[in-house]
Structure 1
C-alpha cells in the first residue's frame, strides 16, 4: 500500500493529512481554543510531514475571534512548496441558520479564502452541497459551473465536491474535472461505498470528512479494540489505518486541536493492517 496519492494528476500528497475544523473550537458548545495552540498544532503537523491541510472559511469560533484560515496563514506562511491547502465553499451562515450559497456568491467566498489564506491561487476548492445528508436529486450544475469558471481564470487549481451522491459526481464530471470528493465515511459509518467505488474507478481522491466518526458514531467497537490490541495501537489509529487500507484513493484528514492527538493520528501511517485484521474489521 502506497502512502501517497497524486491529487488531480499533478499534486503528490501523503494519504494522511490534517483537517482544520477543530482548530477554532473542539465542537459545538465547546470552549473556543487558544489561537497559539492552534498555530502550534499546524507547525507540528508540517514538521511531521503532513502536506495536505483541509480548511474552510466557515471554520471559525462562534464569535469569529479564532478562524482556521487565519491560523494557517499565521503559522505556515510563506508556505512550503509541497504543502497543498484545500478549502470548501457553498454554505452561507446567517441569523436564520445555514443556507446554500448561490452561484454568484461563490466568487466572493473564493476571493475571501484567497485573502484570508494569503494565496494567489487555491490548490483545491470543494463545492459543499446540502447540510447533513447529500441532497439527492438536487442539481449542483449551476454552482459547479461557477467554480469551473474561476478555475479557468486561474484562481483555483483543482475542483472537488462534498456531501454528494454518485449522481452529483457524474453531473460535476460532465462540467469539469473533479480531483476529489469529500463525503462522510468512517469505520463506524460505511454507507458511502457507491461513491467511493466511482472515485476509485476514475482515480479521484475520496476524502472522508468524519474519518473518526466526528463524535457522532463510536469507532471503539469490540472488533476495532481487538485489532488495536494486536498492534499495540489506539482505536483511533486503527480507524485511520482501516480507511487507508480500504482503497488506494482514500485520503484521511483527521482534525484536532491537540499536538498529542495530532502525533497519535500521524503515527497511523506506519500501521499496516493484515488480512486477518481486515477480516476482523469487515
Structure 2
C-alpha cells in the first residue's frame, strides 16, 4: 500500500518524477520515497524550493534559473525544463534546430522535437543539476554549523553595516547638546537651533529605520538557519540504523530538543 502511494505521488508530481529520472541518468538511482523523505511536501508534491532541497540531499548541486532555450549551454545538459500545464521535460541534447527530450514518466524513451516547438511549450525556467562527489557532511563535523551560517553571510554583512550606522547615530545626541550650549545659547542663534534640530530629527528617523531593518534581517537569518539546521538534524536522525538507535528513546528525544 505504501509503495502504491509513493508511485501515485511520483506519477502526479512531475518534479519528483524528473528528479528520479535525473538520478538514473547520472547512474546514481534513488527511489522517490528516499528523495522526499523528511520534506514538507505542499499538497503532496514538490515545489521548486523543495526540489532543490531534495536534489541537494541526493548529492546534486542544483540551481533554478530563468533562461531561454537558446541560451542553455549543451555542457549543462541534462537539464529539467518547466513546460506548459505544470509539466516538465528533461532536455538531454540540443542541436541547431532539433532537441532530444525525455519524459520523466518514461525515461527510457527519447523523443525528438524541433527547437521551435519546444520553445512554444517551454516556460523559460529550468533546473540545472550537477552531480557532486562530496559526501554528506557528518553531523559531528565542525563545519556543519558554520556552513549553514555562511549561506546567510550577505544578510549578516548588512546587519554589521546597520549596526555601524546605529553606533554612529548614537553620537548625534551628545554633539547636539554640546553645540546648543556652546553656540546657540551664548549667541541666541535660534536659526541655528532649528537647523540642528531638523538634522537631529532626520538622524533619529534613520536610526529607527536601521534598528527595524537590523531586527528584521537578524530574525530572517535566524529562521533560515533554524529551518536548515533542523532539517539536517532530523534527516540524520531518520538515517540512523536500527542497531545504532539508543536504548532510551526519551533521553534521546530530550537531547534533540
TM bin, normalised by shorter chain, reads: under 0.3
Greater share of helix: 2
Query: Which has the bigger relative contact order, CA under 8 A and spacing at least 6?
Result: 1
- TM-score scaled to structure 1, two decimals? 0.22
State which structure, 1 or 2, has the greater radius of gyration over its C-alpha atoms: 2
